[in-house]
A and B are shown apart, each in its own frame.
Chain A
């Protein structure tokens, strides 16, 4: 029977629907045939380059561009004065602050944008940078956030009316302070730790850049720019530049990694757009590696003091006081109303009596950012802190860290569970997932091995973390970004041949959307995934939505695609009923086919229904032709993926080098659409976690010079630092997501750093009395801790 080939296949090679399936996009990626921003060349295109401040804090006395303008290939040099005439000298940030596009009054961090050169080629543009003469008057510098509010500290944001100190946002609180005080008063054991989640950088391999192509005749502005939220960017450009939103088209070509770094709008983007509007030709600006590291969105930089207590062998309370370092402009990624993002999910996976969280933020003379680096708005910092604290408490109590977690977990029958900071976790069975991880690790055996090695003077550590994330932002009743609901659209068109195009507002940066979203349509409609084209990355050809970050693609866009597929399926049912001359309610669905209930032979395939929908045959009463649908999905709640991670490390007793020997990751991300892609996401995130835990750091000297301006100084891990990851899974479907999926992209980055740091401390606690080491656990920093001189990173 010919129909068989479109029916569900038992083959795992080519699932029609969910299952392991090689990524469609890899055919071009592995052949070097992707198209990235710098591959695009438009006729008549000119090139921009940015002059950046060598100082961290200085007044600009004068800018002389005459020598640069005399360069034969230079067309223009743009400064703040020029932008002022266009009303573009300052731009809003994602956090309702303002940021200088080009510095006019002062520079406030090293690497800040001062002038924009436009030349016929990139070499000339860069040559001309050294021909611009800027006179600076250096000012006092604030590098250490702890000193930002000292009396007499230099005022960084004197551009803001009423700003008298370096407070970036006032203290924000969650939880119940009094109840928390009671929990601590009643506690058996209390531990306190000062810890830093240091400043790190997403460091996508493709740096940021933009091509602006303004047509002065039509008023159309075409933008080519790999970013994570093209629709939101378009709206912001319309507001900022006073352009007509419907005349702006943003196209995101292939993107070489985003990780939160490609969420913000950067000054270089605005300069390129302004340049094209003024010059009337396409302007390309692509930053170099140094510019990416020193000026674009950093991540983390949370200075935390935490206290945790227990009673009767169970964790009962948590108190956290955070000082956030936002750099010179507050452009942290956060939904409105959440100035600390989702940090207050820091009570983690535990059934606490009470908790209380305070966060305040300061300005410093460092690059702005605070982006959600593979993280749902500060959950990474929250999970790191709480999982370090559980280990600290276990050490103080003299109990096994897994035992303490097991005794303190929210029980499976407590869901839906309201946390002490106001989150409603929808589902979970934490103890089961923890046990799966222990089984894979052989936890008891590892503890025996560790004891034996300790006898021989060898240092081995076993570290655990258990995380709960809240991802898939978010319900419009709870959150928005810059007034835009965090919803996502999906538009599905099934063509007469039964082949389909689904347009989505999520924006892949390498996550495999072209495959995963085709598989969702395949699962829901029985159309083979190779016959479903996923369209995205072009604001003219996709529905409105807020893009991809915060692990929101599958929770929000994935749900939208499932719902739109079901709408099409419902319409197909009406058409099928008329084809089969029966009533819709007498039909039953199997993947790819409506058939008559009780007479399975009698049915029609989705392809046949599609053909009918566009044919000359009459449609059922009241039904339009065609087989299309569109939706906007508003998630009813966040989704709450969780996982149990175990790291095994060896520490060289003489050189203090840390080797991650094993890493066990058991994730519960609900239903897995493409388990192969999920595995890949977890591998990538674990590698990043190893990097953050062991080597990644953006640091500054006392003058505010960034010390990590290349990949020789900002280390990202290689395969040689990564063990063969041992993955496991439990599946607790999300009760409110149409597919039961929860999102997974960020879980491994969130969950792995505390497991590794816990392992390093586990290796050293007994023999060396080490109670805490801040990341990154470089050999030098671990050695200092072994000498009893652990210090926070500079």
Chain B
């Protein structure tokens, strides 16, 4: 039997209550939502939080809705809801691409978007998906709310802009014309973490790329935001030649390390291949939209 060390437990009944509990228990307390990252770490005794603040009763944080020109996703929205949402798939199909290959149904039934982003594992798919989609997240603390873009969200390996005593409550996505997106992943086995994955969103402006977001999973200590490849493509017609160049940039700008999933050269190679594939598919989807 794999046993965690002793910990305190409180079940929150409101976001403010959760924030208050975090303040009360101090910085060794952790929010628990789906628990599919935290509990295994606790059982392996890689994590020993003093207290868990359980937010699973905060069902008002579970939603996907259109508000104004935005899609808003509550932090407690489960992977399975992201997978099933036609609204999300219509505007940002890369979420469905990713959710089809994230872990397994058991994990997807419990794991949440907020938990995935706050875990900030560089191999996790939703971090690169949200980066490529240029999402913003809402972080609430005792002092109130703030909105942070994904580029400012990741501050280091397993570290985010969410401070002690704060809770991530919402993910926001702009609804903009001409959007197409895709997520491409290579894994050793269904449900495994990526060897490498690439997320792309393009917003076409006629024949040209109006805006583009490209991010990589599992090829660095944090999610890799490919700003150089984005700059290459922006305001240009995305020819096959440019797509290949973007892939080359992906291979160069990632910083993978060797592990059981593969050596550095293979991961760089994959970063390029998958960036190209995701770009092609994302662009093709904008044509389908038209």
Contact = CB atoms under 8 A, between A and B. Distances in A.
B188 A783 contact: no
B186 A655 contact: yes
B147 interface: no
A289 B2 contact: yes
B262 to A, nearest CB: 3
B273 A655 contact: yes
Contact of A779 (B3, B6, B44, B262): B262
A38 interface: yes
B24 interface: no
User: Of B6, B188, B195, which is in contact with the most chain A CB atoms at under 10 Å from its CB?
Assistant: B188
A715 B270 CA distance: 21
Interface residues of A, number: 31
Main secondary structure of the interface of B (DSSP, over half): loop
Interface string A696-719: 000100000001101011010110
Interface in A108-163: 122-123, 126-127
B260 A779 contact: no
A783 B260 contact: no
Contact of B263 (A123, A127, A707, A780): A780
Interface in B97-152: 104
A290 interface: yes
A759 to B, nearest CB: 18
A780 B3 contact: no
B188 A290 contact: no
B3 A122 contact: yes
Contacts of B192: 712, 715
User: Of A694, A713, A778, A780, which is in contact with the most chain B CB atoms at under 10 Å from its CB?
Assistant: A780
A524 B286 CA distance: 69
Contacts of A717: 189
A695 interface: yes
B3 A126 contact: yes
B2 A784 contact: no
A126 B1 CA distance: 9
A207 to B, nearest CB: 9
A695 B188 contact: yes
Interface in A632-665: 654-657
Contact of B260 (A290, A708, A720): A708
Interface string B1-22: 1110110000000000000000
B124 to A, nearest CB: 13
B8 to A, nearest CB: 15
A38 B3 CA distance: 14
A721 interface: yes
Contacts of B191: 718, 720
A222 B208 CA distance: 77
A273 B104 CA distance: 39
B190 interface: yes
A490 B263 CA distance: 55
Given A655-B186, A655-B273, A695-B189, A780 B1 contact: no
B262 A778 contact: yes
Nearest to A652: B186
B285 interface: no
A122 B173 CA distance: 47
Given A655-B270, A699-B260, A779 B189 contact: no
B269 interface: yes
Nearest to A654: B273
Interface in B159-199: 186, 188-193, 195
B261 interface: yes
Contacts of B193: 712
A694 B187 CA distance: 12
Given A127-B3, A699-B260, 8 more contacts: A126-B3, A655-B270, A657-B186, A712-B192, A779-B186, A779-B188, A780-B263, A783-B266
19 contacts: A127-B6, A655-B186, A694-B189, A708-B260, A710-B44, A712-B193, A717-B189, A718-B104, A718-B190, A718-B191, A721-B190, A778-B262, A779-B186, A779-B188, A779-B262, A780-B266, A783-B262, A783-B266, A784-B263
**7 nearest interchain CB pairs?**
A780-B262, A720-B190, A288-B2, A126-B3, A780-B266, A654-B273, A715-B189
Interface of A: 38, 122-123, 126-127, 286, 288-290, 654-657, 694-695, 699, 707-708, 710, 712-713, 715, 717-718, 720-721, 778-780, 783-784
